[in-house]
Structure 1
C-alpha cells in the first residue's frame, strides 16, 4: 500500500506538464454590437508547440447561434519552437437574443485521439432597431411613388433581332428568287422607259430642226442602252462590229448606215425622211431586244 502511494506521488509532477502543452486558443469578435443579419468578424488565434498538430474549425463546423459566411486563413508563423495559427471568420446572426456568445475550439491531434480545446467565450450585443412593439401591429401605408431609373431592355431587343433575322432569312429562302426576278424586271422596265423617253426627245428634236447633232445623240443613247441591256461593250463597237454582233441583222445594218451618212456626210433634205425611218428602226430594235431580255429573265425564274 505504501509503495502504491509513493508511485502515484511520483506521477503527479508530470501531469501538469502534459496539461500545459494543450494551450487554449484566443477568440474575439471584431465588434461589440451587431445588427440582425449584419456580417461581423471573429478572430481565432492559437499558439502551440511547433511539433503539435492542430486543426482549426472549417466551414462545416456549427457556429451557432451564428451562421458561417466565409473564412480567411493566414500562414502559420513559427518562432522559437512556438507556432501561431490564426484565422478570421466572417459570420452573421438571425437570432434574437440580446446577448450572443461564441467559443470556438481548436482540435489537437494526439496519436489516434483528437482533443478539442475551447477559447474563452466572447459575446456581442444585438442592436435592437425596434424598441417597443404594440399589439396588434398597425400597418403603415406608403403611397409615395419611388423614382425608378429607366433601363433599356437589351435581352428583349436581342430576342427581337434574332427572331427578325430568322424570319427574314426564312422569307428570303422561300421567296428570294422571286424577289430577285421582280427586282430585275423592275430595273429592266425602268431603264427601257428612261431610254425610250430620251430617245424620242432626240428624234423629235431632229424632226423639228433637222440638226445632225440630234441624230448623233440618239445613236449614242441607243448604243449605251444596248450596252447595259446586253452586258456587252456595244458603245465601243464600230457599225460593222455591231451588225456582226447581231448576226447581220438587216434592220440594224440599214439603219446604222443611213444614220452614219447623216452624221458624217452632208445631210440633204431628201435624206431627212430616211433618217427619220432609220431612227424608228433603231427604236423598234431596242424594244424587241428589251422584250427578249425580259423573257429570258422570266424563263430563268421558272427553270430554277
Structure 2
C-alpha cells in the first residue's frame, strides 16, 4: 500500500506542478460567423516561460468539426523571460450545426513526457442560407426545353484531319506520278488550244486585210507559245538562233525569213501566197512540238526510248 501511494505521488506531483506553471493558450476566430465551405482563420497564441519547450498543433491534428486548409506558424518572440508562440490556421466547415466551437491545445515537452494544455473554446455561428423550408417541399415542374449552345466537336475534326491526311498521303504515294502526268497533259492541251485559237484569229485577220501587224502578232504569239512549251527563252532569240535551236530546220528557217521580210521589209503581202503558207507552216510546227512534248510527258520514265519523238527538226503535216 505504501509503495502504491509513493508511486502516485512521484508520478502525479510533477505533472500537477507543471500544469500550474503553464498558462492556457488563447484561441479566437477572425469572425463570429461562418458559411459552409467558406474559409475562416483561427489564431492561436500561447505565452510561457522561455525555459519551456512548446509545440503547437500541426497538420496532423484533428480540427473537427472544421477541416484544415493551411497553417502558418510564426517565430517565437521572447522578451523579459516570457516567450510567445503563435500560429494562424485557415479552416472551413461543412457541418450544419448552428453553433460550432473549437479549442486547440498546446503540448509541453518535459523530458520523455508530453503535457497537453487545453486552450479556451471559441465559437462561431453558422450562417443559414435557407431560412425557411416548406414541409412537405413543393416541387415546381418545368417541361420546356432550354436552348443549349452547340459545341464544336474538335476531337472528331482532328480525327477526320488525321484520317484525311493519311488517305491523301496513301493516294499520292500510289497514284502521285499518274496524277502529276495527267495534270501536265491537261495543261499542255489547254495551252495548245488557247494558242491555236488566238493564232488562227491573227492569221485570218492577216489573210483578209493583208496588214503586217496581224502577222507580227501571230509570229510573236508563236514564239511565246514555244517558249513556254520548250521551257526555253525562244521569244528572245533572233531568227538565226531559233533555226539553230531547232537543228537548222529548213522549213522553219524559210517560214521565219518570209515573215521577217513581210514585217520589216514593207513588202505588200496581200498577194504573197508564200507568206500565207509560211504562217500555216509555223502553225503545223507548233502542233508537232506540242505532240512531241505530250508523248515525252506520257512516257516520262522512258524518255530515252521515245527520244526520237522530240527531235526538233521533225515537222509533221
Q: Place the TM-score, normalised by the shorter chain, in its bin.
A: 0.7 to 0.9
Query: d(CA) in 2 for partners of 1:105 and 1:151?
Result: 56
Q: 1:234 offset after TM fit, Å?
A: 0.7
Q: 1:82 offset after TM fit, Å?
A: 3.3
Q: 1:101 offset after TM fit, Å?
A: 1.4
1:179/1:259 Cα in 2 relative to 1: closer, same or farther (>3 Å)?
same
1:205/1:134 Cα in 2 relative to 1: closer, same or farther (>3 Å)?
closer
Query: d(CA) in 2 for partners of 1:301 and 1:159?
Result: 42
SS in 1 for 2:206: helix
Query: d(CA) in 2 for partners of 1:62 and 1:122?
Result: 16
Query: d(CA) in 2 for partners of 1:55 and 1:297?
Result: 92
1:144/1:127 Cα in 2 relative to 1: closer, same or farther (>3 Å)?
farther
* 2:160 is the alignment partner of 1:160: no
Q: Is the 8 A contact 1:210 1:272 kept in 2?
A: no
Query: d(CA) in 2 for partners of 1:49 and 1:147?
Result: 69
Q: Is the 8 A contact 1:177 1:301 kept in 2?
A: no
Query: d(CA) in 2 for partners of 1:67 and 1:45?
Result: 20
1:111-147, Cα deviation, whole Å (9 max, x unpaired): 3333222211111222344455555443233568888
After the TM superposition, which residues 269-280 of structure 1 pair with which residues of structure 2 at under 5 Å, given as runs?
A: 272-280=272-280
Q: Is the 8 A contact 1:97 1:126 kept in 2?
A: yes
Q: 1:168 offset after TM fit, Å?
A: 3.5
Query: d(CA) in 1 for partners of 2:240 and 2:291?
Result: 24
* 2:221 is the alignment partner of 1:224: no
SS in 2 for 1:141: coil
Q: Is the 8 A contact 2:25 2:44 kept in 1?
A: yes
Q: Counterpart in 2 of 1:211?
A: 211
1:32/1:208 Cα in 2 relative to 1: closer, same or farther (>3 Å)?
same
Q: Could you say what the CA RMSD is over the residues aligned between the two structures, in angstroms? A: 3.3
Q: 1:219 offset after TM fit, Å?
A: 0.9
User: TM-score, normalised on structure 2?
Assistant: 0.77
List 4+ stretches of structure 1 deviating above 6 A: 14-17, 143-148
Q: Is the 8 A contact 1:69 1:90 kept in 2?
A: yes
Q: Counterpart in 2 of 1:5?
A: none
SS in 2 for 1:220: helix
Q: Counterpart in 2 of 1:286?
A: 286
Query: d(CA) in 2 for partners of 1:234 and 1:255?
Result: 16
* 2:56 is the alignment partner of 1:56: yes
